[in-house]
Structure 1
Amino acid sequence: MSLSTSITRPTSSYLLPLDGIRAIALIMVVLSHFGLGHIIPGGLALNCFFFISGFLITRLLISEHNRTGTINLKNFYIRRFLRLYPALLFMLLISVCFIGAIGCEFHAQEILSSLFYYRNYFVIYLRPIQPLDCTLILDILWSLAVEEHFYIAFPLLFVLLFRHRPAFLCFLTVGVIGILAWRQYLMTTYGPTELTIYTIYHLTETRADAIMYGCLISLLAYGPTGAGFIQRANHSISIGLAFILLAISLFYRDLAFRETFRYSFQGLGFSILVPALLFHPRLEKLRQWFSAPWLLTVAQLSYSLYLFHWVGISIARYLTGSERITVEYLLIAVPIGLTLSVVSYYGIEKRILKLRKHYGSNLKPESAPDATPALQPQPIRS
């Protein structure tokens, strides 16, 4: 596949290097949760997850619009339901059994907030007072809630605005600026307190800009001037600037900056580095590395691993009575997390694949883009 084709003719199949990036991001998140957060930037990896989600959802919607001239919203939401709920229901079953086994008082809102994607609001505004360890097993679902709020709204926005691409780009640009302004307002008004930091970290309206950056870049890369945009992103100055932005986001420790501009700097950095990785002519070997089979296997299991590594951690915390990472802790958390992830994916999720394909899901991976293309802009049909 030539680069110009990759840019102007998005397909519904996977881009293998993006799967590799997603796998690395997952590994970083998991390791940070296992007590290495002071070394491994799990927050950066999560923002990368959000960015890739936005990039891919937009790419898939553009592809469907090019093929059919419209977006089948019913099929889109059915695919999302079939993608998320089988593993989620299995996780909730395991979690409810665990919560009951340790004798915690259980509230219906724990399940409802997990099933209906408002866990991020529940943990801030609605959680009843109780021993903290009782239902932490479900708190990993806050980030899934952020994504799903966006996934519910964005296809509708796409249907309304895709034929008016400048307005669409303007709307998303205003969105990322507005979210930054809202974070700044919260930090200025309430100060860098523990509650303010916790709130900004978890709310959809303060974190969704990472997904919006991915949507913006997908619209630009697969648009009429996509080849020109990719050339600018591939420029050494652009790539250098992206690394500087990411470095500042990691090493500048001012609390006000970290809860406001840090997320924006990371979104801007990914907006350059992800297109460069996918399409830079000199990065073919890197694309091949990110397309390694072991990374693609991790990417396939990424959703299950994300859910169930936290189940393993929660059970290990309870059984060891400590959050310290010890040999005993790891011997409990790692086997439980891995076993449940494998059971979930191969025993439950893979059985749903055929049904997902019935509603338009195309799960055949696409090989990495050719590294020696000619960048010729070709208008995408809208």
Structure 2
Amino acid sequence: MPSLDGIRAVSILMVLYGHLSGTRNFPVSNPGGYGQWFGDVAHLGVLVFFVISGFLITSLLLSEREETGTISLKRFYLRRVLRIFPAFYAYIFVVAVATLLGMAHLAGRDFAFALAFAFNYSPSHPWLLGHLWSLSIEEQFYLLWPLLLASMRERRALMVAIVAIFASALLRAAMRAWVLHVGPNVLSNMATFPTMCDYLAAGCALALLRPWLLTQTWYLRLTASRWLGLTIPLVLLLNRVGGEPVVILLGTPVTNVCLALLIESSTRHAGSMVGRLLNWKPVVFLGALSYSLYLWQEVFLARGSERWMNAFPQNLMLVFLAALASYFLIERSFVRLRGRLRYNAGLHAPAPGIADGENAVLESSIPNARCGQG
């Protein structure tokens, strides 16, 4: 799907920038947070990934049901296993070897949470495994959402997604208020699925609403407007002040809508200046490399470390070298196998309705436009 790899590239760059801040020799040092002016930009990058994931996975499942009349949960889970597990377990193996050699200090409990894809519920947050909280939420989403979507009509699934958007923000705001006025508790240090699923649900809602939205003139004009770029500073501002309960409750749905609109605009207007940048081959490749970069960046972007490999700029170079090794030696062969499984199942990636003009969008997307690929 045009531009999505480019958006992934932007997201992973936000994560890398956030984790580079504070490492030795990096020009930006901000002990109080990652992003200095824009809040925790690494966390914001992860949230963008969540919205993309909800949108893409839902689009894939809806496309499969439209083509075949059903959703094959077996094929879906097999494709997810081939995409996620090989590179993930390779990373866990390397970290385990480093622990056995005394180069890292991790407990058996840490590995248990990681291997179960439940690190978002871990009471401890060791640096080398701490980033797996977001992958754990993704895996829990992969487990639950396809089951739900396969068992109910799209309208009911949409209602579930909308309720999740507001209920999750409410829970997160209540948790933050508790911490501010009562004090931390066991759950306050955990990124539980119920308090973080609203970003995934926003992507799901976009995919479910998209066929109808693409018939609405106001929506086509809005997502084609240059004024939509103003949502970017709005999202950054909300991210900066996002720690307050009121901002979480009221600002999070706004952030989700803004991110969904930006994704829609980018994927449908690949010929615009921004679209051409997002679809530039180096940017697309960086997006394809994002999962490997996500896995391996914790090894080299450790704040407070005096090791040579954790100092800028060699730490960033080593992250990319490790990610390239993971991608070419492990991921790419399994991605090809996953693609062959999808091809053999007779599934295709329908045209997403890319056009610079509204008429072309309407002609390519009405009445039953679907988009997406896994």
Q: Same fold (TM over 0.5)?
A: yes
The equivalent residue for 2:180 is 191
The equivalent residue for 1:22 is 8
Correspondent of 1:212 among 179, 201, 210: 201
Structure 1 residues 238, 62: closer, same or farther in 2, change over 3 A? farther
The yes-or-no answer on 1:277 pairing with 2:266 is yes
The equivalent residue for 1:139 is 130
Deviates more, 1:286-295 or 1:228-237: 228-237
Q: Note the C-alpha offset of 1:58.
A: 1.0
Structure 1 unaligned segments of length 5 or more: list them.
1-14, 321-325
Aligned residue identity for 1:147: E
SS at match of 2:312: helix
> Does the aligned pair in 2 maintain the 1:47–1:267 contact within 8 Å?
no
> 2:138 and 2:263 mapped to 1: Cα distance?
19
> 1:201 and 1:246 mapped to 2: Cα distance?
24
Q: Note the C-alpha offset of 1:71.
A: 0.9
The equivalent residue for 1:94 is 94
The equivalent residue for 2:25 is none
> Does the aligned pair in 1 maintain the 2:300–2:318 contact within 8 Å?
yes
Aligned residue identity for 2:63: S
> Does the aligned pair in 1 maintain the 2:269–2:354 contact within 8 Å?
no
Q: Note the C-alpha offset of 1:363.
A: 10
> 2:59 and 2:186 mapped to 1: Cα distance?
33
> 2:52 and 2:170 mapped to 1: Cα distance?
23
> Does the aligned pair in 2 maintain the 1:120–1:203 contact within 8 Å?
yes
> Does the aligned pair in 2 maintain the 1:214–1:271 contact within 8 Å?
yes
Deviates more, 1:251-260 or 1:42-51: 251-260
CA RMSD, 1 decimal: 3.3
Deviates more, 1:348-357 or 1:247-256: 247-256
Superposed counterparts of 1:63-74, under 5 Å:
63-74=63-74
Q: Note the C-alpha offset of 1:313.
A: 2.0
Superposed counterparts of 1:318-357, under 5 Å:
318-320=305-307, 329-357=311-339
Structure 1 residues 296, 98: closer, same or farther in 2, change over 3 A? same
> Does the aligned pair in 1 maintain the 2:222–2:228 contact within 8 Å?
yes
The equivalent residue for 1:11 is none
The yes-or-no answer on 1:181 pairing with 2:170 is yes
Structure 1 residues 71, 364: closer, same or farther in 2, change over 3 A? closer
The equivalent residue for 2:215 is 227
The equivalent residue for 1:299 is 287
Structure 1 residues 241, 32: closer, same or farther in 2, change over 3 A? closer
Q: Note the C-alpha offset of 1:148.
A: 1.1
Q: Deviations over 1:62-82 (max 9, x none)?
A: 111111111111011011111
> Does the aligned pair in 2 maintain the 1:201–1:259 contact within 8 Å?
no
Higher share in helix: 1
Q: Note the C-alpha offset of 1:233.
A: 3.9
> Does the aligned pair in 1 maintain the 2:98–2:104 contact within 8 Å?
no
The yes-or-no answer on 1:371 pairing with 2:356 is yes
> 2:349 and 2:295 mapped to 1: Cα distance?
24
Q: Percent identity?
A: 24
Structure 1 residues 286, 195: closer, same or farther in 2, change over 3 A? same
The equivalent residue for 1:58 is 58
Q: Note the C-alpha offset of 1:245.
A: 4.2
Q: Note the C-alpha offset of 1:244.
A: 6.5
Structure 1 residues 84, 253: closer, same or farther in 2, change over 3 A? closer
Q: Note the C-alpha offset of 1:367.
A: 9.1
SS at match of 1:191: helix
> 1:328 and 1:166 mapped to 2: Cα distance?
49
